Amino acid sequence: MNRKILIIKTGYSEILEDRNNSRKVSLGDVLRTTPILHLYKNDSVTWITDNEAFPLLEKNKLIHKLLPYDFTTALQLETEEFDTIINLEKIPGICALADKVKARRNRYGFTFNSQSGEAEPYDKAIEVLAVSSDPKIKKENKKTTQELLFKMVGGKWKGEEYILGYIPKNKEEYDIGLNVFVGDKWLTKSWSFENWDKIENLLTQNGLKISRQDKQDKIITKDLKEYINWLNSCKTIISNDSLGLHLGIALKKKVLGLFGPTPHKEVYFYGRGKAILPEPIPNCMPCFKGVCERGDSCMNYISPKNVYESIEQLLKSKK
């Protein structure tokens, strides 16, 4: 008999980030959680998420029941029993709900401490909480999100990939897509539009067909499926550390990621891309902050010339 597995991942809190926003969904964090589904490919998986993340997960063949995080779902869960419950949210209210759901065997992730009123980790999630909450440990961390995630649920990551629910059917039209926008939560991840203009000119002069996110119909910023379609129309993606980067990886594109305030070591490109860092690297990097306190963003030290040379090498690679 297949085991019943409950996964709670709404995106309200990020797995390796301590700052929480109870109603702002990190879609990239939801997507980069999907590799753990490989561990439960023979089981019946119920996944709880925010409605905004549904396009990332619906029609995923390894998710048997996709439910929204709402009052009705909460009532249902309180009367249902699972073999394993995996709560990947650090929001106290979500932890309290997860604790009320019956688990016959295992609980992983985070639980609610009724004395402190805060979330706390189960044993296997202690390292994840340390990486997310201690800046020194986070800076020194060399493990990818996948490694830490698998360890949290008692597994071992062996290179399993993201699993995207929505599968675009459009064809590749462009050599390179420039994914220029970042979410409101992490404005410090932005590379200047001046630099995006420069890299676009360099690539165009080299005869490459370029498509820019900010020059598309505005629908791609509002319609997640259209956004995925646009990314799929590009053979290679250059992106800030954002949802577009993770979608590019999930779509098995060649991806060049631009990193500054966030740690590049947590992201795995599956041999199809690489991270580009500022030169020289400031001592404060990565700072994990949404606002640059020194007034001179580290992202300004990523040169278009360096990005251009890196994309040339990436385009020559066989994968």
Per-position pLDDT tens, the chain of length 319: 589 999 999 999 877 666 555 568 889 999 999 999 999 999 999 999 999 999 999 999 999 999 999 999 999 999 999 999 999 999 999 999 999 999 999 999 999 999 998 888 888 778 777 776 666 777 777 889 999 999 999 999 999 999 999 999 999 999 999 999 987 777 788 999 999 999 999 999 999 999 999 998 877 778 999 999 999 999 999 999 999 999 999 999 999 999 998 889 999 999 999 999 999 888 888 887 878 887 778 898 999 999 999 999 998 886 6
Residue 274: its H or E element: strand 273-276
Closest CA to 93 of 72, 70, 65, 76: 70
CB atoms within 10 A of CB 1: 6
The arrangement of strands across the sheet holding 118-121 comes to: 65-68, 44-49, 4-8, 81-87, 102-113, 118-121
Q: How many Cα atoms within 13 Å fall on the side-chain side of residue 134?
A: 10
Q: Which two tokens stand for residue 128?
A: 């994840």
Q: Which two tokens stand for residue 306?
A: 């360096």
CB 106 within 8 A of CB 6: no
CB 18 within 8 A of CB 132: yes
CA distance 211 to 215: 8
pLDDT of amino acid 312: 92
pLDDT of amino acid 133: 64
